[in-house]
């Protein structure tokens, strides 16, 4: 049995930056240390941060003290301001790629443009982006939802940074045909594009695919979705304990990819367990 490991597997720049900022805050910032919402979508990393004393808050308290880090996905601007008013020292760990989208939305919303965000309505990144759009923001998760929106005299279209690239291409084509006056921005981050392209190529070359990452991670879910669309048996696991060995028994080649919030040590654990199948299955 042969293992092919994606070169793009593991932390992206934004996740690595957020984790490093949080670990640095533990050593240098005023305590207690907390994050607003889970810093990233990976239970193992969140458990590690918890062991270091980093708590998670989901709402803004009337009064706060210590340091709060904004999650990598970003938050609405009203939340950031409210945290500062409550008394926290606010450290912004938002991914720079997300900040770029926030800036695009804020600038155009101030000029009266409508904002159409292509993404998962309940995903924290999208919730944060919507906060920059004001009353003229709309979220769509399908072509049908996009077509159902009223036609705006001026509007921009942006994507959640971890959106499926093929799906967004379809959105762009529809806009070009039906609303060519809309301004469409390519806001899917390059890391996402590379991961999705690579997992598609690996899935086509392998007998089965294993994608490692949090079950609530949007970008990890999309990698598994793309692998399944290639017609190959695909397992999405958070840890090596979730592997279904029976489903992999006939595979001669297994491709392994991982989401942008999956730590290297968790990927290595899964690879090690899969490698131990080699002599028995090969």
Residues labelled catalytic = 125
Helix boundaries (H) for the chain? 13-28, 43-51, 77-86, 96-110, 124-133, 143-148, 165-178, 190-205, 218-229, 245-248, 264-275, 278-281
Tokens standing for residue 184:
């469409």
Please say whether the dihedral angle defined by the alpha carbons of residues 158, 164, 169 and 175, taken in this order, is positive or negative.
negative
Question: CB within 8 A of 98, min separation 6: which ones?
Answer: 14, 72, 73, 74, 125, 128, 129, 161
- Tokens 């991914």 -> residue: 95
188-207 burial code (b ≥16 CB/10 A, e <16):
bbebbeebbebbbebbeebb
Q: In what order do the strands lie in the sheet with 2-5?
A: 2-5, 253-258, 208-212, 234-237
């Amino acid at each position: 049995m042969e293992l092919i490991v994606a070169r793009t597997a593991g932390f992206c720049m934004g996740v690595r930056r957020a984790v490093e900022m949080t670990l640095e805050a533990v050593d240098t910032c005023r305590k207690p240390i907390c994050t607003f919402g889970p810093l990233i979508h990976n239970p193992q990393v969140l458990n590690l941060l918890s062991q270091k004393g980093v708590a998670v808050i989901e709402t803004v308290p009337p009064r706060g003290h210590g340091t709060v880090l904004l999650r990598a996905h970003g938050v609405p601007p009203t939340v950031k301001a409210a945290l500062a008013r409550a008394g926290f020292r606010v450290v912004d760990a938002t991914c720079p790629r997300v900040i770029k989208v926030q800036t695009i939305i804020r600038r155009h919303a101030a000029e009266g443009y409508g904002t159409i965000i292509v993404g998962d309505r309940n995903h924290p990144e999208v919730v944060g982006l919507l906060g920059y759009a004001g009353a003229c923001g709309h979220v769509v998760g399908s072509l049908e939802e996009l077509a159902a929106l009223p036609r705006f005299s001026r509007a921009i279209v942006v994507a959640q940074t971890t959106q499926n690239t093929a799906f967004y291409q379809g959105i762009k084509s529809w806009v070009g045909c039906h609303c060519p006056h809309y301004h469409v921005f390519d806001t899917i981050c390059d890391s996402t594009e590379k991961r999705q392209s690579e997992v598609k190529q690996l899935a086509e070359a392998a007998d089965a695919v294993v994608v490692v990452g949090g079950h609530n991670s949007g970008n990890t879910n999309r990698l598994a979705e793309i692998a399944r669309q290639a017609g190959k048996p695909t397992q999405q696991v958070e840890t090596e304990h979730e592997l279904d060995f029976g489903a992999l028994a006939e595979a001669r080649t297994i491709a392994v990819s991982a989401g942008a919030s999956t730590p290297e040590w968790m990927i290595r654990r899964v690879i090690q367990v899969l490698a131990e199948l080699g002599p028995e299955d090969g």
